[in-house]
Structure 1
Amino acid sequence: MKQIVVAGASRGLGAAVAQHYVATGEKVISLSRSPSPHGSWIRCDLADPSQVEAAVVAISGKLDVLVVVAGIWEDLAFSPDYSFTASPAEEISRILTVNLQAPILLAKALLPRLGGGGRIVLIGSTSGLDQIGTPEVAYNASKAGLRGASQALAQALKGQGITVSILNPGDIGTDGVLAAKRDGTMRGGGSLPMADLLSAIDFLLTLSPEASFCEISLIPLNG
């Protein structure tokens, strides 16, 4: 049985990841601001470094995996109404804090618990890839930065036997996403089944401690 920390586990992709690993018999610790119904929940606002530190203290025992799924975006992101000039400074700052600073601080705080053979899996986005062509400035910058952080963490931690990977999925076809694409409140385009994201994480967790897969991008082909 692996002990897995899932950050951002109260809803969306994070809740699906936590639910998946509870169902497969792993011990899941869910970190999020609001309660998570999956695993053992610890309240943690990832935008607040003091809460990150408190959450880490509340986690006991050796960890096998840290999965950081937490992510936020601009109020009108992915819609035809998004405007960079209308995005408040506070919104931009919080996006960069939650999506980029928090994963780095959380990984650093949990290093003593991970030890040799531990894995860190960061969930990025195709919005962070080069020349992606979408206009959400803060969100795209945070996800591009997360790719850089993943590459640097992999180098910084390889001497400790900890592997770091980042997954960059396109839109995941949840009911909410599909409905928003149909009614025009979200820009159109293809979407991926949730099962593909879960399968990609599963693949990473089945690798031996001697292997590392640095980056996987999941690109929808149906739109």
Structure 2
Amino acid sequence: MPPAPKTVVVVGASRGIGAAVAQHFASQGDRVWSVCRSPAVAGEWIQADISGPEGVGAIAAALGDTPVDALLFMGGVWEEGAFTDAYSFLNSSDAETRWVMSINAIAPIEITRALATNLAQTANPRAIYIGALSGLENCASPEVANTAAKFGLRGAVQALRLALDGQNIGFTVINPGNVATEEVLLDIEEGRFGSQTPIPMEVITGTIDWLISLPPSVDVPELNLWQRSGDR
């Protein structure tokens, strides 16, 4: 007997990892709520700019008291010129710093709080967040706001596990290297990134499937995924 359809909320679903994750769950027959500013590629679109409280409120209003099996925070932004020689911390504005931090670190906290009751209504709720290798100790990159936000996300999720302990929600941060999105593949092709084999998107969706399939008694706080460099 096939598993019962799940209800998942995918934040950052208009492109990149988020779009692929939304399409993956929609193709399996699950109910997908896609949160993004521009039209979603799959599922039911919740139009929201999560850089401010109005966007978080729009998510909560759209879902109401709908039970949610999984909150998948796949969103992320970074500074102009990030990961290239064009990036300059000294030329990055205060507004840009606050924008990156608000989406990458503050929004996950606020969205989790807004949907905690929805998650608690299901038998095996999971909240899964995309971090980055740059958020690990001794792996920081020079993009200050993005790196700080990814470090902060890991700490926030550790605290959320404690703050919502009675809700039986499983929390995981996935810290991947470069994932084979269209943007990353283009960066490699045009030489902005060094020679490497990025992580296939199927690894990300498969990892999320595995996490969601785990029994409530199994907790996986963090997973780190590295891309291969050079010709290996």
TM-score class, shorter-chain normalisation, is over 0.9
Alignment match of 2:117 (pick from 112, 115, 127): 112
RMSD between superposed Cα atoms in Å: 1.4
Distance 2:85 2:196 in 1: 13
Q: What does 1:43-192 align with in structure 2 at a 5 Å threshold?
A: 43-60=47-64, 61-115=66-120, 117-186=124-193, 189-192=196-199
Instruction: Supply the AA of the counterpart residue of 1:51.
Output: G
Cα offset for 1:187? 5.2
1:207 aligns to 2:214 (yes or no): yes
CA offsets, 1:166-203, max 9 Å, x none?
A: 00010012233122123233455442111111111111
The offset of 1:96, in angstroms, is 0.1
What SS does the aligned partner of 1:203 have?
A: helix
Residue type of the partner of 2:75?
A: A
C-alpha contact 1:72 1:95 (8 A) present in aligned 2? yes
Name the CA distance, whole Å, in 2 between partners of 1:216 and 1:142: 17
TM-score (norm 2): 0.92
Instruction: Report the count of equivalent residues.
Output: 223
TM-score between both structures, scaled by the size of structure 1? 0.95
Return the alpha-carbon distance in structure 2 between the equivalents of residues 176 and 122 of structure 1. 20
DSSP 3-state at the match of 2:45: strand
- Among all aligned residue pairs of Structure 1 and Structure 2, give the percentage whose two residues are the same amino acid: 40
Q: Out of 114-123 and 180-189, give the one that drifted further.
A: 180-189
Question: Secondary structure of the equivalent of 1:192?
Answer: coil
Match of 1:8 among 12, 21, 28: 12
The answer (yes or no) to whether the contact 1:120–1:162 under 8 Å persists in 2 is yes
Between 136-145 and 213-222, the greater mean CA deviation after superposition: 213-222
Q: Is the 8 A contact 1:80 1:187 kept in 2?
A: no
Does the Cα contact within 8 Å between 2:16 and 2:183 map onto a contact in 1? Answer: no
SS of alignment partner, residue 31 of structure 1:
strand
**3-state SS in 2 of match to 1:78:** coil
Q: 1:26 aligns with which of 15, 30, 34?
A: 30
For structure 2, the 5+ residue unaligned runs are none
